[in-house]
Structure 1
Amino acid sequence: MKTLLSFLRIVESRARLFPVLLLMAVGGCTTTQFVDSADREVYALLTKMSAGVPGMNPNFTIEEVEISLEGMPTREVATEDERQELEFLGEALEDELGAPVISLEKALEIAVKNGRDYQARKESLYLSALAYSLTRQEYGPIFRGNADGALSVTTKDITKMSAKAQVADAAPGAARQIAALTGTPGELLTAYANLVEAAVDITDANAPHIAIEQERRLSGSTSLGASVLMKGGARIALALTSNFLRYLTGDPRTATSSALSATIQQPLLGAERHAARENLTQAERDLLYSIRDFTRYRKKFSIGIASDYYRVLESRESVRNNWQSYRKFQRELARSRAEVEAGLKTLTELGRTEQEELSSRNAWVTALEAYQDSLDSFKIRLGLPTSTGLVLDANELTRFIEQGLMPAPDFTLEDAIQVARAARLDYYIQRDRLEDAARHLALATDDLKPDIGLTLGASANTTPGENVLDFDFKRYAWSLGATLDPKLNRKRVRNRIRGALIAYAQAQRSFDEYEDNLELALRSSWRALKQAEISYEIQKRAVQVNEERVHELELKREMGTVSTLDVNDAEIARVNARNALSRAAVDHTLAYLQLWLDMGILYIKEDGQWQDVTDEWENLTDVKRS
């Protein structure tokens, strides 16, 4: 108890600074300072908790960066041959001239810095950390204060005599005193005094009257306090309250009083003892889950941008292939018309060629429209207006086709599944949530015990009317108490335990289902990669076959052994094969990236580019084997 009183004396010695600190706290912070303070705390929290999350951006920030496309290489046409090379774009060519050409690397950088969905996910993580900072504050000193004041005015009735009444009341007595002092005959002055007194009585000149007066007083009170919650469940609270009263009318009396108190509440037995620690633990884990979830989102986001980028190029290549087919059918139509005029072909055959020429033109126009739509959608994905001039680097797709496929994985499917269990962040989340459910069940079981707590309090007051902070610690009060809740109503405890058991069973089933889905996703990705590899080889061979077929049929047509219709059919097949080859090349690359993602070893750099996964794979397989 002496220690607690000594602590109160220390608080009292600092209490004189409380009003100044309160004014500084209320008026000394601007919006900018609050924002800077929140940013410093949130970024520090994320940096600390991200240390154990592979692939998390260490320079996380939600500050938006202005994107400029100036200074980038642009689409220019210097010669007529270059213009003819791009004539498959039709009127859309004018939109591309002078527009910046962006590579996949640049597209990823723009998407990370400017993408709306990406920015929203960053802000969501920021808000999660901001909410955690509020929970964490409960376990540090929390200061609270308030003040109020009031000016009170009341009226009351007062009985009093006017000045005339006071003169009339005093006149008879004054006349008698004059007679005694001057020696004037008493009968005369006495008669005069009696006359005045009678006149006063008749006129009620000396009658009192009721007056209304105001009473004004100024009152106020202040309260300052601090509290801290310990992880062991103890709560320590300090409070300083002061009251002030001053009368502004009549007797200017002043009354002041203050009280300084401290309390300690400590749970000794029961669930409350561990509840405080659990709240902080769960808040920390929830923030960690948010960081892991955002890190995995970054991986999915980069793959999504790459997929959209390649799909736009694939659509552009389809426009080129359909344009070449359309131009070829135009030449075939001109040839057929000449043959009809020469009597070498019937009008029926000419009509078939005209129909195929119209169909090829429609296919080109449709492909061009699809390309423009996909490009505009990609601009929105990057956070750019659709009116922004933009061209994707077609060499990205050309390199894919020329370089061929990426090498096949040098590991087995079972290896991939084991690595996923060691590397996937969402696997960690599901596993840790199962641990959370087990911990909550243990806390619910602990609730079966009665709640026993200890309360210790001490206070000291000032002497009324003296200095508001002049505490008299010789006159103090303290108390020591205990609380007991035997929990006679067991239904709440029963329901909590039963609910925790169900929640744990649900978490176990969710984890088991997640493991099954994880293995299913890996098997699906593995099969998709194999299928994409086979499809690419098939389409590559199909292009070769149809190229040879078209060449052969054109020669035979010159010799008159095949009809134009056979050549047209072969040309349509060649266009379809070329489009399918472009699609197969993109599918194989994306299937590879999806496999790395499902294994959890696709790591994203700050600019959105993915790292080479070879070294990561070797490290993980070494750990797995050991």
Structure 2
Amino acid sequence: MLGSFSISHRVARSSEELSGKRQMNRERAPRCWSFVCESNSSSRSARRLLPAVFLLSLLATICSCAARDHAIAEQEGNRIRAEKVSQVERFRSEELISPSDPVESRDRSTSSIEVPEILDLDSAITIATKYSRSFQSQRESLFLSALSLGLTRRDFLRPVFDGTASFNASDGDDQDFQDVTALSLGGSQLLFTGGSISLNTNSSLATSDDPVAASQTSNASFSVSVNQPLLRGAGRDIAFESLTQAERNLLYQARSFELFRQDFVISITEKYFGLISQQKQLANTNENIVGQRFAWEQAKALFRLGRGNSLDVFRAEQALLEAQSSALDSEQAFHLAIDQFKVDLGLPIDVEFILQDDFPEVTFFEMDLDGAVEAALHNRLDLRTTRDQLEDAER
């Protein structure tokens, strides 16, 4: 009886302990389930935020670079703007004139161009090629064309790179959350054979909370492609046609500038010797005035002595007045020509100089007709340009 009681007591106690443990498990189950749900929810939220955090950091880096470039550009623009504004303010504070001020009180700025006191032909040509507005305009136009050719060469001889980044996310009550982050980089280079080589790399990261599929999947690819025409479009001449034409256009413009330079020097020389001729004519008119004045005085003296008549005095006086009028016209024309010559040289009007009135010695040389024609056909730059343009049209 004692043994049976003990066994039944242990069995009853065991059943009571088992029922107590079951009750405790039932109480712990909701808490464990809520912890698991919270863990899954937090991990899912973390998975959702991971691509977004990556893209945000990438955008922050790009924005920081763009902000730095923008700050540098803004600083440079402010510096240039301040420089020009200071010039305007300095003009308004120091160089403004009042309408009531007399003309003599106006300060005229002195020229910084060094001009010799006696101007010869070599000095005139040197000054003109340095300060003439038309010559500087032609030279700057040639320089800009050279810069344009440099950009064209860079586009042909350097590789071209590009890249894209994207982020797509979708979520809703009737679908699972999914986001895709993609990055693509590529570059291409034109080959001398007329073909091209391209490099491309792509990578993507997809995140989803689909219980069936994987939570994260990644994909990366790299490709190299070579495109080489075999018949039509093959060869360097066809592939680099635009670069070749740009090279030829710059050569044509350089020849045009050389022709302009020659014509410019000839024009300055003609105007220089034209001024010398006018200067000598002005000297001759002044000497004519002296002679006509002497004749008028002589006619008056003879009239007082009774050896002449009043008509001779009148004619001598009329000739003197005509000589003086001619001298005034010649002097005015000479000063106008001098001012125009200063403008052609790029000098201010208030610059003063004296022309050296020595004519060069004339040198004679012999040339036969056949030699002159052969030299012209070979040396003329405009003819060479026309020939090259004909080749361009045939090409």
Distance (whole Å) between structure 1 residues aligned to residue 207 and residue 127 of structure 2: 67
Correspondent of 2:276 among 300, 307, 313: 313
1:398 aligns to 2:361 (yes or no): no
Question: What residue number does 2:160 align with?
Answer: 143
Post-superposition offset of 1:27: 4.5
* Deviation by residue 1:1-24 (Cα, 9 ceiling, x = unmatched): xxxxxxxxxxxxxxxxxx99x969
Question: Which letter maps to 1:125?
Answer: L
Relative to 1, partners in 2 of residues 1:231 and 1:155: Cα closer, same or farther, differing over 3 Å? closer
Distance 1:239 1:349, change over 3 A: farther
Report how far residue 327 of structure 1 moved.
2.3
Give 3-state SS (helix, strand or coil) of 1:267's partner: coil
Correspondence for 1:228: 189
Q: In structure 2, the residue corresponding to 1:411 is in which secondary structure?
A: coil
1:370 to 301, 311, 333: 333
Out of 121, 134, 151, the residue aligned to residue 134 of structure 1 is: 151
What residue number does 1:567 align with? Answer: none
- Of the three residues 221, 229, 232, the one matched with 1:267 is 229
User: What residue number does 2:125 align with?
Assistant: 108
Q: Is the 8 A contact 2:165 2:184 kept in 1?
A: no
CA contact (8 A) 2:252 2:385 kept: yes
In the aligned structure 1, how far is the partner of 2:386 from the partner of 2:260? 16
Q: Is residue 289 of structure 1 aligned with residue 249 of structure 2?
A: no
CA shift, 1:416, in A, is 1.6
Q: Choose the corresponding residue for 1:323, options 263, 274, 286.
A: 286
Q: In the alignment, what sits opposite 2:302? A: 339
Inter-partner Cα distance in structure 2 for 1:255 and 1:378? 81
Partner of 2:373: 417
1:149/1:218 contact within 8 Å kept: no
**C-alpha distance in 1 between matches for 2:190 and 2:179:** 37
Matches within 5 A, 1:419-568: 419-439=375-395
Change (3 A) 1:352 1:254: farther
Instruction: Mark the CA change 1:436 to 1:156 in structure 2 (over 3 Å): closer, same or farther.
Output: closer
8 Å CA contact retained: 2:228, 2:234: no
3-state secondary structure, aligned to 1:262: strand
Task: Give the secondary-structure state (helix, strand or coil) at the position aligned to 2:188.
Answer: strand
Amino acid at match of 1:437: A
Counterpart CA distance in 2 for 1:120 and 1:271 is 40
AA of the residue aligned to 2:192: K
Q: Distance in 1 between matches of 2:340 and 2:138?
A: 20
Distance across 1 between alignment mates of 2:204 and 2:171: 24
Q: Distance in 1 between matches of 2:313 and 2:167?
A: 102
Q: Is the 8 A contact 1:144 1:226 kept in 2?
A: yes
Q: Gaps spanning 5+ residues in structure 2: where?
A: 1-60, 74-110, 209-214
Instruction: Give the Cα–Cα distance (whole angstroms) in 1 for the partners of residues 257 and 222 of structure 2.
Output: 48
SS in 2 for 1:345: coil
The whole-number CA distance in structure 2 between the counterparts of 1:125 and 1:430 is 19
- 1:269 is paired with a residue of what secondary structure? coil
Change (3 A) 1:257 1:372: farther
The structure that has the greater radius of gyration is 2
Task: After TM superposition, list the pairs within 5 Å mapping 1:189-228 onto structure 2.
Answer: 224-228=185-189
Q: d(CA) in 1 for partners of 2:195 and 2:122?
A: 54
CA contact under 8 A between 2:128 and 2:345: conserved in structure 1? Answer: yes
What letter matches 1:264 in structure 2?
Answer: V
8 Å CA contact 1:139, 1:231 repeated in 2: no
* Alpha-carbon contact 1:326-1:360 (below 8 Å) kept: yes
Residues 426-435 or 358-367, more deviating: 426-435
| Contact 1:141 1:226 survives alignment (8 Å) | no
**Do the aligned residues in 1 keep the contact of 2:197 with 2:224 (CA within 8 Å)?**
yes
- Matching residue of 1:125: 142
Q: Shift of the alpha carbon at 1:364? A: 1.0
Counterparts of 1:324 and 1:127 in 2: how far apart (Å)?
A: 54
**TM-score when scaled to structure 1?**
0.40
- Rounded to whole Å, the distance in 2 between the matches of 1:133 and 1:120 is 20
1:352 is aligned to 315
Instruction: Give the 3 Å change call, closer, same or farther, for CA 218–68 of structure 1 in structure 2.
Output: farther
Contact persistence 1:143–1:224 (CA under 8 A): no
Partner SS for 1:406: coil
* Per-residue Cα deviation, 1:325-345 (whole angstroms, up to 9, x for no partner): 122222222222333334433
Deviation at 1:279, TM superposition (A): 2.3
Alpha-carbon distance change, 221 to 112 in structure 1, aligned in 2, over 3 angstroms: farther
SS of aligned partner of 1:308: helix
- Counterpart Cα distance in 1 of 2:201 and 2:318: 94
Q: Classify 1:297/1:157 alpha carbon distance in 2 versus 1 (closer, same or farther; 3 Å).
A: same
Q: CA deviation at 1:156?
A: 8.1
Instruction: Please tell me whether residue 384 in structure 1 is matched to residue 347 in structure 2.
Output: yes
- Aligned-pair CA distance for 1:363: 1.3
Structure 1 residues 414 and 147: CA distance shift in structure 2, 3 A: same
**Taking structure 1 as reference, are residues 369 and 239 closer, same or farther at Cα in structure 2, changes over 3 Å only?**
farther
SS in 2 for 1:268: coil
Q: Using a 3 Å threshold, how does the CA distance of structure 1 residues 225 and 149 change in structure 2: closer, same or farther? A: closer
Higher relative contact order (CA 8 A, sep 6+): 1
Counterpart of 2:98 in structure 1 is none
1:348-368 Cα offsets, whole Å, 9 max, x none, are 333332222222111111111
Q: In 2, distance between residues paired with 1:142 and 1:27?
A: 23
The answer as to whether partners of 1:129 and 1:287 remain within 8 angstroms in 2 is: yes
Q: For 2:187, what is the secondary structure of its paired residue?
A: strand
Distance of 1:244 and 1:367 partners within structure 2 = 91
CA offset at residue 150 of structure 1?
8.6
Aligned to 1:206: none
User: What is the TM-score normalised by the length of structure 2?
Assistant: 0.61
Q: Taking structure 1 as reference, are residues 297 and 244 closer, same or farther at Cα in structure 2, changes over 3 Å only?
A: farther
Q: Could you tell me which amino acid in structure 2 is paired with residue 138 of structure 1?
A: D
- Matches of 2:296 and 2:207, distance apart in 1: 108
What's the offset of the Cα at 1:135?
A: 2.3
2:198 aligned partner: 237
Give the deviation of 1:257 after TM superposition: 6.2
- CA drift of 1:376 comes to 1.1
Contact 2:159 / 2:190 at 8 angstroms: preserved in 1?
no
Structure 1 position 242, deviation (Å): 5.7
